[in-house]
Amino acid sequence: MNFSKKLLAILALLPGLAFASEGGFPLDKAPDRSHNMAALQNGAKLFVNYCLNCHNASSMRYNRLRDLGLTEDQIKQNLLFTGEKVGEMMTTAMPAKDAKAWFGTVPPDLSVIARAKASPGNTGGDYLYTYLRTFYKDDSRPTGFNNMVLPNAAMPHVLWELQGVQSAKFVEEKDPHDEAKTMHKFAGFEQVKPGSMSKLEFDTAVADLVGYMEWMAEPAQQQRKRLGVWVLLFMTGFAILAWRLNASFWKEVK
């Protein structure tokens, strides 16, 4: 191996030196819903029913939901409640000023939140999937709930009727690195009050909702990947032709 090849080998290894993983609550992997239209439609329904009351998705047009196999009539009848038109953006009726007064902060726009919450090693979907399932009872909070992923979240546990109420168990453990300190360690949830869904049903519903939010963050994603296959096939064919063309010309160079 000559020097420049060695150098290239080093360069090729560079992306392997990825970010070190960050601390915090370990995130569950969000199930893949990207090819499951029924699940994505269910996710859209949950999103419109539960999230849009406070949040905007102001880059998302209602009739883009046709990409998920819905017709304009279906969108009108099932997802539009307050006289919006199907060509309008998903905006909330809640004025930002009121939201600020009630929650202390304006709820973020959710159009691309699934992309924003990605981190090295985890998709934004993983974050949302874990976040929405780890609200627990905490009477010290104004909403009565706290969250494992986003401690002291301003957002109330919007899905509590579905999930029910769970409390978090913590144990005090000695810090193995420092005898003097104790660690407040999470030791699982306990169902305090049942919801309208079983744990499995709730996890499935949240997975659908998160699947929808991932789709909404980049509606062109499936089209991009489908097209990409053809582009790569074409470019590879072109590269082979170009390689042979080059070889045939360079044959004569002595």
Partner 1 sequence: MGAFKETKFPADAPVAQKAVGWVDDRFPLTKLWNDQWGKYYAPKNFNFWYIFGSLAALVLVLQIVTGIFLTMHYKPDANLAFASVEYIMREVPWGWLVRYMHSTGASSFFIIVYLHMTRGLLYGSYRKPRELVWLFGFAVFLCLMAEAFFGYLLPWGQMSYWGAQVIVNLFGAIPLIGPDLSLWIRGDYVVSDATLNRFFAFHVIAIPLVLLGLVAAHLIALHEVGSSNPDGIEVKENLGADGHPVDSIPSHPYYTVHDIFGVSVFLVLFSAVVFFAPEMGGYFLEYNNFLPGDSLKTPLHIAPTWYFTPFYSVLRATTADFMWVLMVGVAAYVSFLWLKSKLAFRTKAVIAVIALLAIIGMLPSVLDAKFWGVVFFGGSVVILAFLPWLDHSPVKSIRYRPDWHKYVYAGLFISFLLLGYLGTQPPAPVGTIVSQIATLYYFAFFLLMPWWSEMGTFKKVPDRVVFHAH
Contact residues: partner 1, CB under 8 A: 3-4, 6-7, 10-11, 14-15, 17-20, 58-61, 64, 108-109, 111-113, 115-120, 124, 217-220, 224-225, 227-229, 231-232, 235-236, 238-239, 241-243, 245-247, 249-251, 253-254
Q: Which is nearer to partner 1, 73 or 230 (CB)?
A: 230
The span from the CA of 6 to the CA of 42, in Å, is: 52
Shortest spacing between CB 144 and partner 1, in angstroms: 26
Q: Which is nearer to partner 1, 6 or 169 (CB)?
A: 6
Shortest spacing between CB 131 and partner 1, in angstroms: 15
Shortest spacing between CB 21 and partner 1, in angstroms: 12
Cα pseudo-dihedral 119, 122, 128, 132, rounded to 10 = -120
Q: Which is nearer to partner 1, 12 or 180 (CB)?
A: 12
Residues 6+ apart with CB under 8 A from 252: none
Q: Which is nearer to partner 1, 145 or 215 (CB)?
A: 215
- What are the C-alpha distances in Å from 134 to residues 112, 124, 127, 232? 22, 16, 11, 41
Shortest spacing between CB 1 and partner 1, in angstroms: 12
Q: Which amino acid is at 35?
A: H
- What are the C-alpha distances in Å from 52 to residues 48, 70, 207, 248? 5, 19, 18, 62
Residues 6+ apart with CB under 8 A from 210: 30, 33, 43, 114, 125, 128, 129, 132
Q: Which is nearer to partner 1, 20 or 180 (CB)?
A: 20
Q: Which is nearer to partner 1, 180 or 250 (CB)?
A: 250
Shortest spacing between CB 163 and partner 1, in angstroms: 27
Shortest spacing between CB 181 and partner 1, in angstroms: 21
Question: What φ, ψ does residue 174 adopt, rounded to 5°?
Answer: -70, 135
The span from the CA of 68 to the CA of 47, in Å, is: 14
